[in-house]
Structure 1
Amino acid sequence: MVLNQTIKEAKLPLFGRRHVQCVLLFFGLSVIYSMRVNLSVGIVAMMDNKAANPDFPEYKWSEKTKSRVISSFFCGYICTQIPAGGWARRFGGKVMLLFTVTSSSIIAILTPLGVGMGDWILLCILRFLQGFGQGSTIPAMATILAKWAPVEERSSLATYLFSGAQFGTVIMLGASGAMCSSPLGWPSIFYIPGALGLSWALIWLWLGASSPSDCKAISQAERAYIESSLNAQKKSADHEMPSKVPWLKIFTTPAFLALLTTHCGYTWGFWTLLTQIPSYMKSVLGKDIKSNALLSSLPYLSMVILGFICCPFVRAFEESKIVSTTVSRKIFNTIGQWIPVITFIWLGYVTSEESDLAVVLLTVTVSISSITHFGWQVNHIDLSPHFSGTLVGLTNSAANVMSIIAPLVVGYIVTDPASPDQWRIIFFIAAGYNFIANLLFLLFGSAKMQDWHGEELKVKEMKPLNDSAVVVQLMQEEKEAI
C-alpha cells in the first residue's frame, strides 16, 4: 500500500499512543484476572486455615459446595457477554472498561465481609455480581483493539494485550499463598486486587481512549497510519455498514460457528486447569499452600513469556505472506490446541510419586496454549472489525458456559480428590474437547472478512486519507509544531 508506506517512511513515534493503550489494557486485564482467579487458591485457605493463617475463619464446605462457589462467577459472567458488544459500540470501550473494573474492585473489597455475614451463599451472590460486571471486559477490549490496531499489527498487539490475563493469573496465583499465610490472612487476596483495580481505573480515566479520534494526545502521523490501514481494509472489503447486527447471517456462517466451537474447547481445558490446579496440587501431589501457589502460577508465567517471545516471529511470518492469513491462523491454532491434547492424556497417567513430571506437563499444557493468541483469539476481528465486540460476546458467552460446567463436572466426578484415576477422567475430557474443537476450526475456520461485515470508523476533523500528499503535509505540520 503506497499510502501506508508513505506514513511508515515518515517519523512515527517509536512508542505511540496505540502502544500506551495496549499497555493500559494489558494491566487492566491483569487486574481483572487477578480478581477472577484469586478464589482458586483462596478457597483452599478458607476451607483449611491450618494450611495458611489459622487466625482467620475456616469454612467446612463440601467439594460440591466449593464447585458451586467457583462456578457462580461464570453464571454472572455469561449474562452480559452478548449485549456488551453493542454497549461498547454505543458508549465506547473506555466507559465499559471503567465500569467493569470499578464495580469488580468494589465487590472484591466487600467479599471478606460478605462471607462472614452470609457464608457460601452470599459469597456465591457476590461472585455472581462480580462476574456480571466483568462480562463486558473482553468485548470492550476487542472493540477498542479493532479501532486502535493497524491491520499489520493486529496479531502482535492482541497477543501483548491478552497476555495480561496470564500475567494477572501468574501474579495472583504466585502471591496468593504468601498472602494467605501473612498477617492479613486470606482476606488479603480480595483486598489487594480490589485496591489495585481502583487505582487502575483512575489511570484509565486519565489516559484511556476508545479510538484514535477520541485521543487528544495522539500525533497526526500515528493517527494517519492507524486509520489509513483500517480504511484500506474497509475499501478492499467493499462492504456497506449494516445498521443492525445481522444475527441470522452470523449464526449461519461456518467460519463463525467453527470459531465459537474452538473457543469453547479452549475454555473448557483452560478453566478446568485454572480453577482446579491448586486442588490437584494439594490433593494428588501433596503440595502445601505456599509451594502450591507458586507451582500453580508457573504454567501461566511460561504462557506469558512464550507469547511475548513468539510475537516478533509471528509478525514477521505474517508480513512475509508465505501463507494466507487463514492458513496462518490454523497453523498456530493447531499448535496451541493439539499439543495440549497429548499432555492432557499424559497427565492422566502421572502418579503421585511423579510430582515433578506433573508440574512439567501442566506447564507445557498451559504455556503452549498461548500460541492460540495467533489463531482463534484474534479471528473475531478478522471476520468483522465492526462487530468484533459482538462476536467476542457471543463466543465468550458460549465458552463461559463451559467455565460453569467444567468445575461442576470436576465436583461430580472427583468425589475423592486424592484419586489419580478420577482426575484422569477430567484430563481425558479436556483432551477430547480440544481435539474436536481444533479439527472443526481446520475444516471450517477462515480469516476472510465476511460479507455481513460493516465498518463504522470515521475520521473526525481530518481530510480523507486517500492521497499520500495529505499524509506528507500532516508530517510536515507536526514537524514544524515540534
Structure 2
Amino acid sequence: MDDTEAQAQAHKLLGQKQAAPHKQDSGYIRTLRSCCVIPQRYILGVVGLLGVCNAYTMRVCLNLAITQMVNLKKKNSTHFDPYACPSDVIVGNHTDVIIKPYAIFDWDEKTQGLILSGFYYGYAATQVPGGYLAEKFGGKWTLGLGLLSTALFTFLTPVVIRAGGATWLFILRVLQGMGEGPTMPALMIMLARWVPPHERSFQGALVFGGAQIGNIFGSFMSGILLADGRDWAYVFYFFGGFGILWFLLWSVLCYSTPNTHPYISKKELAYLNKTVTTAETSSLKDPVPWKAILRSAPVWALVCAAVGHDWGYYTMVTDLPKYSHDVLKFNIATTGTLTALPYIAMWICSFLFGFICDFCIKKGWHSIKTGRIIHTTVAATGPAICIILASYAGCDRTAAMVYFVLSMALMGGFYSGMKVNALDLSPNYAGSLTSLVNTTSTFAGIVTPYLIGLLTPDSTLAQWRVAFWVCFAVLVGTNVVYCIWADGKQQWWDDVRQYGYPDGWKHGSLTRDEPVPSEEYRLAEQKAG
C-alpha cells in the first residue's frame, strides 16, 4: 500500500513537472504566438532599424535647428579664387534681411562647433561601458533605456537652452551622447544572439541602414518644422516624442535572446538554437578577454577599417553641404531633395550589397572572410576615387553631384563588410568588441570636421582638393590594412573553453576557473591525440 501511494505521488510530481512548462504556453501566449506570422528575428531587425533611425534623428536635429536659434551677422570678406564657380544667386548692392523671430542667441562659430561636438564626447565615453552592460544584463534594456534617456533629454532641450544657454546645452548634448553610446554595442550583442551567420549581411544592412533613414527623415522633418519662421523648439518636441514612442514599441516586441522571448515560435527557436553560435550559459560568463582582444590582428584590422569608414562618412555628411554651398554655389534653400540623394543611394545599395554577400556565402562561392574583404574594399576605394573625381569635375555641378551620390552608394557596402565583421570574430563578446571599434572610430569623427576646417580656411576648390586627397589616403590606407589582417571566423579567445589557448600564450588565464594549460600538458595532449 505504501509502495502504491509512493508511486502515485511520484507520478503526480512527474505530471506536474511536465505540465509546468505548458502553463506558460497557454492562453495569452498561445494567442500571441499564433498571431506572429513574421519571424521574430525580422521583427527585431525592423524595430532595430527604427531605433537606429531614432538615434540619428536625435543626433542631427540640432544641426538644422541651430541655424534658426542663432542670430549672428557675418562680415563680408573678399578672397580671390581663380577656380571660383558662378553662382545662381544674383546679389545686388544690398543684402536681404531674413527675419528669424526665434533666433535669440548670439553664439559665434567656435561656440556652435563646440556645442555640436559635445554629443560625440559623451558618445565615445559610454561605448565600452555600454558593451559591458549589454553582455551582462542583455541588450534589450541597455539599448532601450539608453535611447529613452536621449529622447527625454531631446524633449527637454528647449527648456534647458532657455534656462542655461550654451553651457547647459553643451552639457545636455554630452548627456545625449552618453545615452546613445550603448546603441551599437547592444545591437551587435542582440544580432549575435538572433541572426545566423549566413543572414548577417542582410540583417546588418537592414538595422544599420536606419542611420541613413534617420539622416533623411531628420533633415526632411526638421525642414518642415522650421519652415515659415516657426519656433525651433518644435523640432526637439517632435523627435523627443518619437523616441519615447519607439521605446514603448521596443519594450513590447523585442527581447535580448530567442530563449527569453515569450512567444517566439518553437520552430524558429529550434532553428536559431541550432544555427546561431554563442556560448551563452551561466558557466561561460567569463570576463571580457581584453588581453587577447588587444593582441588580435583581425581586431585591429577591423578598427582600421572603421576609422577609414568614419573618416569618409563624416567628410561626406558634415562637409558635403558646405562644399555644395561654398564651392559649387548651390542655393541651399532649394536643394533639400538633392542633399538627401546620397543618403537614399547609400541606404538602397546597402540592401543590395547585403543580399549579394549573403547569397554568395550561402552558395559557397566565397567564404565569409572573402565577402567581408570584397565589400569593405568596394565601400572604401570606390568612394575614395569618386570624391577625387568630384573635386576635379570643377564647376560641372551635375558631374560633381553624380560622383558624390555614387560615392555614398558604394559606401553602402560597409554594412555587409566590416560593419558586421564583429559578429563573425566574436559572437559572445560582440558588444565589447563593437564598443572598442566605435570608440576609436568616433574620435575620427571628431577630428575630421576640425581638420577639414583647417585645410579649407577660404573654402576654395583648390583647398577642398587637398582635403579630399587626405580622405582618399585614409580610406585606401586603412582598407589595405584590413585586407591583409581581416578574418571571418570566430576567434579562439571568444570561446577559449572550446578552442583552447594558442601555442606560446603567456598572458594568463582568460576564464574564471580554468588555468592556462602548461606547455608540458599541451605536448602530452598532442601525443595522446
> Shift of residue 176 of structure 1?
2.5
Secondary structure of the structure 2 residue equivalent to 1:252: coil
Contact 2:201 2:355 in 1 (8 A): no
Deviations 1:89-110 (A, max 9, x none): 1121110111121111111122
Contact 1:177 1:290 in 2 (8 A): no
Amino acid at match of 2:403: L
> Shift of residue 127 of structure 1?
1.2
Secondary structure of the structure 2 residue equivalent to 1:374: coil
Question: What pairs up with 1:165-314 in 2 under 5 angstroms?
Answer: 165-182=211-228, 184-231=230-277, 241=284, 243-314=286-357
Q: 1:384 to 1:398 in 2, by over 3 A?
A: same
Indicate the larger mover: 56-65 or 264-273. 56-65
Question: What pairs up with 1:95-134 in 2 under 5 angstroms?
Answer: 95-134=141-180
Amino acid at match of 2:208: F
Q: 1:184 to 1:202 in 2, by over 3 A?
A: farther
Contact 2:212 2:343 in 1 (8 A): yes
2:456 is matched with 414
2:24 is matched with none
Amino acid at match of 1:433: V
> Shift of residue 178 of structure 1?
2.8
2:439 is matched with 397
Structure 2: how far apart are the matches of 1:72 and 1:38? 14
- Higher relative CO (Cα under 8 Å, sequence separation at least 6) belongs to 1
Secondary structure of the structure 2 residue equivalent to 1:55: coil
1:22 is matched with 45
Contact 1:156 1:311 in 2 (8 A): yes
Structure 1: how far apart are the matches of 2:71 and 2:324? 15
Q: 1:41 to 1:361 in 2, by over 3 A?
A: farther
Judging by fraction of residues, say which structure has more helix. Answer: 1
Deviations 1:423-477 (A, max 9, x none): 2232222211111111000111111211101399xxxxxxxxxxxxxxxxxxxxx
Contact 2:139 2:190 in 1 (8 A): yes
Indicate the larger mover: 247-256 or 57-66. 57-66
Indicate the larger mover: 47-56 or 121-130. 47-56
> Shift of residue 296 of structure 1?
2.2
1:323 is matched with 366
> Shift of residue 216 of structure 1?
0.8
Structure 2: how far apart are the matches of 1:66 and 1:411? 14
Amino acid at match of 1:370: G
Q: 1:61 to 1:295 in 2, by over 3 A?
A: farther
Q: 1:53 to 1:145 in 2, by over 3 A?
A: farther
> Shift of residue 336 of structure 1?
0.7
Contact 1:71 1:408 in 2 (8 A): no
| Identical positions, percent | 30
The equivalent position to 1:424 in structure 2, one of 444, 465, 470, is 465
Q: 1:170 to 1:51 in 2, by over 3 A?
A: farther
Contact 1:17 1:217 in 2 (8 A): no
How many residues align structurally? 439
Indicate the larger mover: 420-429 or 441-450. 420-429
Indicate the larger mover: 176-185 or 300-309. 176-185
Contact 2:375 2:413 in 1 (8 A): yes
Indicate the larger mover: 121-130 or 325-334. 121-130
Structure 2: how far apart are the matches of 1:342 and 1:108? 38
> Shift of residue 381 of structure 1?
0.8
Deviations 1:32-87 (A, max 9, x none): 01111223333344446989872221544443333322221111110011121110
Secondary structure of the structure 2 residue equivalent to 1:452: helix
> Shift of residue 412 of structure 1?
2.8
Secondary structure of the structure 2 residue equivalent to 1:275: helix
> Given the alignment of the two structures, is residue 40 of structure 1 paired with residue 63 of structure 2, yes or no?
yes
- Higher Cα Rg: structure 1 or 2? 2
Aligned residues: CA RMSD: 2.5
> Shift of residue 421 of structure 1?
2.6
> Shift of residue 182 of structure 1?
4.0
Indicate the larger mover: 286-295 or 423-432. 286-295
Structure 2: how far apart are the matches of 1:89 and 1:276? 36
Contact 1:76 1:128 in 2 (8 A): yes
Q: 1:226 to 1:20 in 2, by over 3 A?
A: same
Q: 1:230 to 1:367 in 2, by over 3 A?
A: same
Indicate the larger mover: 50-59 or 264-273. 50-59
TM-score by length of 1: 0.85
Structure 1: how far apart are the matches of 2:428 and 2:264? 22
Structure 2: how far apart are the matches of 1:241 and 1:356? 57
TM-score by length of 2: 0.78
Question: What pairs up with 1:423-442 in 2 under 5 angstroms?
Answer: 423-442=464-483
Structure 2: how far apart are the matches of 1:51 and 1:426? 33
Q: 1:191 to 1:153 in 2, by over 3 A?
A: same
The equivalent position to 2:110 in structure 1, one of 27, 47, 64, is 64
Structure 1: how far apart are the matches of 2:227 and 2:309? 33
Structure 2: how far apart are the matches of 1:199 and 1:322? 43
The equivalent position to 2:489 in structure 1, one of 448, 451, 463, is 448
Q: 1:342 to 1:88 in 2, by over 3 A?
A: same
Q: 1:375 to 1:23 in 2, by over 3 A?
A: same
Structure 1: how far apart are the matches of 2:98 and 2:264? 48
Q: 1:443 to 1:288 in 2, by over 3 A?
A: same
> Shift of residue 292 of structure 1?
4.1
Question: What pairs up with 1:455-466 in 2 under 5 angstroms?
Answer: none
Q: 1:51 to 1:425 in 2, by over 3 A?
A: farther
